[in-house]
């Protein structure tokens, strides 16, 4: 995400741990695989830009750990997208404003260019 010359931004977010559970909530003798953990991992990779990669927490099969640096990278990307959208909207509003000013100027110029007609009172026709 960073250009080669740019230093990586400092990490300001702490690592995040998502508890999904191991999937053995029914306490049966049948070993059940975790359900939420792989879904959460796929979602973080497929739905976030840039992808957020999670690692399993040692000694806890029902938890994922997300590095704070990955969260910061994602957050920075969201801010860049938001700023780009705001600049686009500002540009559109500026264009609209300019078009309105041009239209007013044309109308004023057109009305100023029209010859003024005088209305004469013909009281002398009697």
* Cα gap 64→70, rounded to integer Å: 13
DSSP of 48-103, one letter per residue?
SSS---EEEETTEEEEEEE-HHHHHHHHHHHHHHHHHHHHHHHHHHHHHHHHHHHH
Please report the pLDDT score of residue 7 as a whole number: 59
* pTM: predicted TM-score of the whole model, two decimal places: 0.55
pLDDT digits (tens, 9 = 90+) for 16-75: 999 988 776 656 666 667 788 999 999 999 999 899 999 999 988 889 999 999 999 999
Does residue 89 contact residue 82 with C-beta atoms inside 8 Å? Answer: no
- 3-state secondary structure at position 19: strand
């Amino acid at each position: 995400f960073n250009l080669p010359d740019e230093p990586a931004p400092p990490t300001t977010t702490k690592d995040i741990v998502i508890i999904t559970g191991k999937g053995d909530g029914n306490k049966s003798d049948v070993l059940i695989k975790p359900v939420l953990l792989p879904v959460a991992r796929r979602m973080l990779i497929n739905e976030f830009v840039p992808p957020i990669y999670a690692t399993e927490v040692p000694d806890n099969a029902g938890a994922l750990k997300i590095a704070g640096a990955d969260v910061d990278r994602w957050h920075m990307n969201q801010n860049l997208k938001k700023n780009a959208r705001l600049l686009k909207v500002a540009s559109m509003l500026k264009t609209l404003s300019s078009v309105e000013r041009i239209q007013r100027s044309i109308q004023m110029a057109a009305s100023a260019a029209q010859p003024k007609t005088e209305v004469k009172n013909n009281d002398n026709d009697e």
